[in-house]
Amino acid sequence: MSVNKEASSTGIAPSESTPLSTPLSTPVWLGVAPGLFLLLWSLGFPVAKIGTSYVDPILFLTLRYALVLIVLAPLILWLRPPLPKRRIDWLHLTVVGILIQTIYFGFCYTAFALGASAGTVALVVSLQPILVALFAPALVGEFIGLKRWIGFVLGLAGAVIVILGRSTIEATSLLGLASAVGALLGMTTATLYEKRFGVTQHPVTANAIQYTAGLLTTLPLTIVFGSLHITWAGEMLASLAYLVIGNSLIAITLLLAMIRHGEASRVSALFYLVPPCAALLAWLLIDEEMPPIAWVGMAVAAIGVALVSPRRQKRLVPTQRQG
């Protein structure tokens, strides 16, 4: 897929490096954007875990998507972004939206509600580039070499070390881990689908369609399988507000802006730091302890993901789209 697209079906696409002949076009704020994005994105994991302790995870997602669309509505009316011209483009946007907003986030939030730690979930879903590298040769014709196989082994080994390390201080939630794996598979499928069928769309249009797809699929799931009970508390409301504003709007806007200014490879490197950063924030916010051996596992997994991820042309989907 070409790297000169402004936005893919997820509203995010890589771009080529900014030409050396136009250094003055780089805004000053770009220097602090990577660190701010890393903080906002990583914070989504422990914050989501806080929110799902007060409300059913799927209902929590439904509320999040409804509020995001309410916030986006005036922006859509103001910008009037172009809509997809072909029905098949609407379909591709909807499929990716369901895979990310419903399956990926749905399993993430379910994992939190079942007791999986924020750091562990962040680590499991961060292995997505490794699975993409393994499946891409057959599905989208990409080559996988020895370095990527080594990365796969290291990433898997790091995840096992973290899980075993945490089991020494608390009982491991097998259903929670299974849900985290479900989230990993959902994001991997979304990435591969976009690599195969992704189309250029305005980011506001793409996000509006995908959040709508998420709302329309999580709402019936909540009614049929979930609980409509909400324990209203300040922490729950603050968690929901952060995920709507901090994660869904500000973090994604920063991500788009950095990529459009030729920072794709730098942004890719940030995702290696999401699991340890999320684990650290979870320790500060909700007292989730990570034993020393688990931090070693985080480092091993980060090296594995770094080896698998290409240095240039990185497809970024809200792969680690959350929290």
Q: Following DSSP, what letter does each residue of 59-92 receive, concatenated?
A: HHHHHHHHHHHHHHHHHHHHH-PPPPSSHHHHHH
On the CB side of 237, CA atoms within 13 Å amount to 3
The pLDDT value recorded for residue 141 is 61
| Whether 165 contacts 297, CB under 8 Å | yes
What are the φ and ψ backbone dihedral angles of 230, each rounded to 5 degrees?
Answer: -125, 130
- How many whole angstroms separate alpha carbon 75 and alpha carbon 77? 5
Beta bridge partners of 318: 320
Q: What is the pLDDT of residue 262?
A: 59
Instruction: Label residue 7 left, alpha or beta by phi (over 0 means left) and psi (-120 to 50 means alpha).
Output: beta
Burial of residue 266, with CB atoms counted within 10 A of its CB: 0-12 exposed, 13-18 middle, 19 or more buried: middle
pLDDT at 168: 66
Residue 34: what pLDDT?
82
C-alpha span between 152 and 308 (Å, rounded) = 7
- For 13-28, write each residue's pLDDT tens digit: 343 343 434 444 567 7
Q: Give pLDDT, residue 6.
A: 40
Question: Low-confidence residues of the chain, pLDDT below 50?
Answer: 1-24, 312-323
CA 310 to mean position of chain CA atoms: 18
Rounded to 10 deg, the angle between the 234-242 and 33-51 helix axes is 140
In the numeric block, the tokens 């940030």 are attached to 270
pLDDT of 263 reads 56
Q: Token pair of 220, please?
A: 């019936």
Structure-token pair, residue 147: 């370095």
Q: How far apart are CA 128 and CA 305, in angstroms?
A: 8
Helix axes 146-167, 118-125, angle to 10 degrees: 170
> Which phi and psi (to 5°) does residue 55 adopt?
-150, 150
Q: Which residues contact 110 (CB under 8 A, 6 or more apart)?
A: 57, 58, 176, 179, 182
DSSP β-bridge partners for residue 320: 318
Q: Cα–Cα distance between 62 and 202 in angstroms, integer?
A: 24
Phi, psi of 320 (to 5 degrees): -105, 60
Q: What's the pLDDT at 268? A: 62
pLDDT score of 139? 65
